[in-house]
Amino acid sequence: MGILAGVTENEHPKAREVPTASATPATAALPGAEPPARPAAAGAAGAAPGADFPVADSAAAAGPASPGATASSAAPAKPAGSKIKIDMPASGAPEPMRPATRMPKLASEPHAAAKSGSAVPAEPSMDSAGAAAAAGRTAPAAAGSPAPAANTGPVANSAPAPDAERDVFVEESPTTMLQVRPPQEEVDRRLAAREQAANTKPVLPRVFQVLMAVFYPVVLLVLAIRLVTTNAFLWIEYHRPGFPADSFGFSTDDRLTYGSYTVDYLLNFAGRRYLGGLVNTEGKPLFLDREVAHMADVKSLIDLAFLLGLVLAIVMVIGIIYLSRRSTGGVRRGLFAGSIATLVLIIGLGVLAVMGWETFFTDFHKIFFANGTWTFYTDDTLIRLFPSQFWSDAGIFIGAFVLVVSSLTLAFTWPTKDRRQAVARAKRPGRRAAAQ
């Protein structure tokens, strides 16, 4: 009974907590009594080192069994569902954590056993691993009782199997398809397409530059005509020294008054009555019917010219805004080309006008008016208000205005060295377009 008391007192608390049949404390056996026979499974496993033994076998090896041990060992075993698995392996070292991409397959998967050729080893239960640990702890407490050799070996089921013997699941990389290189022909085709796209210049900036070069002379010419058709120009012309006086009695004030009606008619939306209803001091109509008809034709031509100039000016403004954002130096190149075209045009027309003003004036009227509708007598009101000197001065003013403005435009848009360098810097990769 002293040996039994020593075993019971020195037994580890965890060994007493295991509710298994083999863990029931055994009493001292009577002298001459044979120890109870081991179970078949335990006897078979005992041939190999490190086999699991029930706790009852460990207690029998520590001391003689009592008569009550037979009844305790013969008690029916509890169902396997009452066994408790321990969190810590019997070896005392936790199993290392596996990466998420290398998780072992479950034994329930049908192809796990087929690949490995053997069943996956089960985890150690409490009745084997716990009993072995309890037997190892109680053996030194029994004085003069040698511990069985089977208790000193490692537990077979608690040792983890090598990684080479396990069926390991390896997750495929989600970027596997991205690492596949396309064929060399496809690579060459893509490189050629990139080079072509990099070297190809946009079409729309070129179109806007050409439109600006073509529209600039027309817009500038219409602007000059609009400055001539003003009462201010009329007043300057009538009051300038050397302007011929009217030989039929119109004073400068009369000319300015009647001439202002004519200019206003060209700019407003009134009909022919605006001029046809005017009378002189004698009560007679100031303008004849053929004079009013000619002024109506001039009004239609002027309205068309102003409308065309307005539309072209709007297109140029749109082009300037677009080129300033998308093309470095595009506005400058468009205006530079337009100024050159304007200078060529105005110089050519000026040479023709100087060589023969009367011929130039006649040919101009033949282009835009029907024959016989623009010729009048010297005593007609239109000739008295707008003599040949007035049209000569108007032509000179239009030519000078266009020449000066186009020359300034050419000077300010000239491709200097600094401007060319700015364009070259803007064309380099990774740089934005330089300011105009």
Give DSSP secondary structure letters for 281-293.
Answer: TTSSBSS-HHHHH
Question: Position 70: which residue type?
Answer: T
Among candidates 243, 250, 273, 251, which has minimal Cα distance to 261? 273
| Cβ neighbours for 317, distance < 8 A, ≥ 6 positions apart | none
Q: What's the pLDDT score for residue 85?
A: 54
* Best CA proximity match to 303, nearest among 391, 367, 225, 376: 225
H or E stretch including 361?
A: helix 357-368
- pLDDT for the residue numbered 12: 45
Q: Where are the alpha helices (DSSP H) in 160-251?
A: 184-199, 203-228, 231-239
- Both tokens assigned to 134: 């309890």
Helices then strands, counting H and E runs in the chain, come out as: 18, 2
- Residue 433 to residue 29: CA distance in whole angstroms: 104
Structure tokens at 288: 């004849």
- Give me the pLDDT at residue 286, please: 92
What pLDDT was estimated at residue 326?
85
Estimate to the nearest angstrom the gap between the alpha carbon of 262 and the chain centroid. 61
The three-class DSSP label of residue 39 is coil
Cβ-count burial 158-189 (b if 16+ within 10 Å, e if not): beeeeeeebbeeeeeeeeeeeeeeeeeeeeee
* CA–CA gap between residue 3 and residue 235 (Å, rounded): 142
Average pLDDT, 10 consecutive residues per value, the chain (436 residues): 42 44 42 46 40 41 42 46 55 59 52 46 45 45 44 46 54 56 85 80 87 95 95 94 90 93 93 90 89 94 95 95 87 93 94 91 91 90 93 94 95 84 66 43
* 41: amino acid identity, one letter: A
pLDDT attached to residue 201: 73
> Cβ(72)–Cβ(26) under 8 Å?
yes
- CA separation (Å) from 210 to 216, 328, 332, 412, 422? 10, 15, 12, 19, 22
User: CA angle at residue 345 from 237 to 202, to 5 degrees?
Assistant: 125
Select from 112, 94, 117, 246 the least CA-distant residue to 168.
112
